[in-house]
Amino acid sequence: MTERLLDVEDLHLSFAGVIAIDGVDFHVDEGELFAIIGPNGAGKTSIFNCLNGVYRPQRGSITFGGKNVVRMKPNKVAQLGIARTFQNIELFENLTVLDNILLGRHLHFTYGPLAAGIYAGRARKQEIANRAKAEDIIDFLEIPAYRKSLVGMLPYGIQKRVELGRALAMEPRLLLLDEPVAGMNVEETEDIARFILDIKDELGVAMILVEHDMGLVMDIADRVMVLDFGRKIADGAPDVVQRDPEVIRAYLGEEFHSTELHSAEIEAAEAAIRGKGSS
pLDDT, tens digit, 9 for 90 and up, residues 193-241: 999 999 999 999 999 999 988 889 999 999 999 999 899 999 999 989 9
Supply the pLDDT for residue 51. Answer: 96
User: Same domain, yes or no, for 67 and 185?
Assistant: yes
User: Same domain, yes or no, for 162 and 66?
Assistant: no
Mark which of 135, 170, 205 sits at the end of a domain: 170
User: Same domain, yes or no, for 153 and 261?
Assistant: no
CB 250 within 8 A of CB 264: no
Bridge partners of 227? 232
Residue 253 lies in a domain: yes
Residue 87 lies in a domain: no
| Domain containing residue 180 | 1-81+172-279
**Taking Cα atoms as reference points, which of 53, 50, 54 lies closest to residue 77?**
53
Supply the pLDDT for residue 255. Answer: 44
In this structure, what CATH number is given to the domain that contains residue 225?
3.40.50.300
User: Same domain, yes or no, for 273 and 187?
Assistant: yes
CB 31 within 8 A of CB 6: no
Residue 36 lies in a domain: yes
User: Same domain, yes or no, for 196 and 277?
Assistant: yes
Query: pLDDT by residue (tens digit) across 95-105?
Result: 999 999 999 88
- Please give the tally of structural domains in the chain: 2
Residue 113 lies in a domain: yes
CB 62 within 8 A of CB 43: no
Residue 125 lies in a domain: yes
User: Same domain, yes or no, for 101 and 158?
Assistant: yes
User: Same domain, yes or no, for 1 and 108?
Assistant: no
Cα 220 to Cα 237: distance, rounded to the nearest angstrom: 11
Supply the pLDDT for residue 278. Answer: 45
Supply the pLDDT for residue 159. Answer: 94
Supply the pLDDT for residue 119. Answer: 56
User: Same domain, yes or no, for 271 and 178?
Assistant: yes
Supply the pLDDT for residue 117. Answer: 54
Residue 115 lies in a domain: yes
**Taking Cα atoms as reference points, which of 173, 148, 143 lies closest to residue 160?**
143
User: Same domain, yes or no, for 160 and 176?
Assistant: no
User: Same domain, yes or no, for 277 and 188?
Assistant: yes
Question: pTM of this prediction?
Answer: 0.84
Below-70 pLDDT ranges, the chain:
1, 108-123, 252-279
CB 159 within 8 A of CB 92: no
User: Same domain, yes or no, for 98 and 12?
Assistant: no
Residue 86 lies in a domain: no
CB 110 within 8 A of CB 126: yes
User: Same domain, yes or no, for 138 and 187?
Assistant: no
Cα 6 to Cα 28: distance, rounded to the nearest angstrom: 5
